Amino acid sequence: MRTKAGIAIAAVLAAAALAGCATGPAYESNAEAVDDATITANVKAALLQDPETRGSNISVNTVHGDVELSGFVNTREEGSEATHDANRVAGVRAVNNRLQINGGGPVLSRATDDRSISEEVRSALASNPETQSSRIEVNTSEGVVQLAGFVNTEDERATAGNIASSVQGVRRVDNDLRLSPAD
């Protein structure tokens, strides 16, 4: 009798423990975040391995398996190749190509200016309480700043655009920030 009761209690406890281990939304989000980070890393690796896209200024963001490519390339073909490379990576559900074509050939002083503009924009975004924790990629080409990635609110998106446009040397801001998808 005691053995049957002990077995029944053990079975109930085991079932309760297993129910507690069931994957809920928070666990799936964490696992998905790891998967998204892996996909991002694999897309970046694919772009670096491809001789046509290796030297490009391409940022990669992944949310729920959807990859966003942003930044600058020298030719339309280079942008198409980047999309092709990303689509070949395991786990990629879709690729949103937001790449822009550079306006001209690289000029060392312009590249240096663009680099310093990007650094100043990143610094300004990091020091603003509304945008400091956002996932914002900053790329600059010939004074045109492209903001890409994800923010939580439309106000945060507008603030990031205003911050970027206030940096000296910025000719224009392409605010390609998107609202983070609901989990």
Token representation of residue 18: 């297993």
| Structural domain includes residue 106 | yes
With cut-offs at 50, 70 and 90, classify the pLDDT of residue 113: confident
Burial class, 52, CB count within 10 angstroms (exposed 0-12 / middle 13-18 / buried 19+): middle
- Two tokens at 34? 């790891």
Residue 20 lies in a domain: no
What digits encode the pLDDT tens for the residues 147-181?
A: 999 898 999 999 999 999 888 888 899 999 988 87
pTM of the full structure:
0.48
Residue 83 lies in a domain: yes
pLDDT band at 108 (very low <50, low <70, confident <90, very high): very low
4 lies in a domain?
Answer: no
Which range marks the domain in which residue 167 is found? 25-179
Residue of 88, 96, 18 whose CA lies nearest to 62 = 96
How many folded domains does the chain comprise? 1
Beta 66-73 vs 94-101: how paired, if at all?
Answer: parallel
Q: Pick from 148, 149, 138: which is nearest to 115 by CA?
A: 138
The β-bridge partners of 61 are: 68
At residue 17 the predicted structure's pLDDT band, cuts being 50, 70 and 90, is very low
Is position 133 within any domain?
Answer: yes
pLDDT tens profile 85-105? 999 999 999 888 888 877 654
18 inside domain:
no
Within-domain flag for 40? yes
Q: For 46-84, write each residue's pLDDT tens digit.
A: 998 988 887 778 889 998 889 999 888 888 888 889 989
User: Is 162 part of any domain?
Assistant: yes
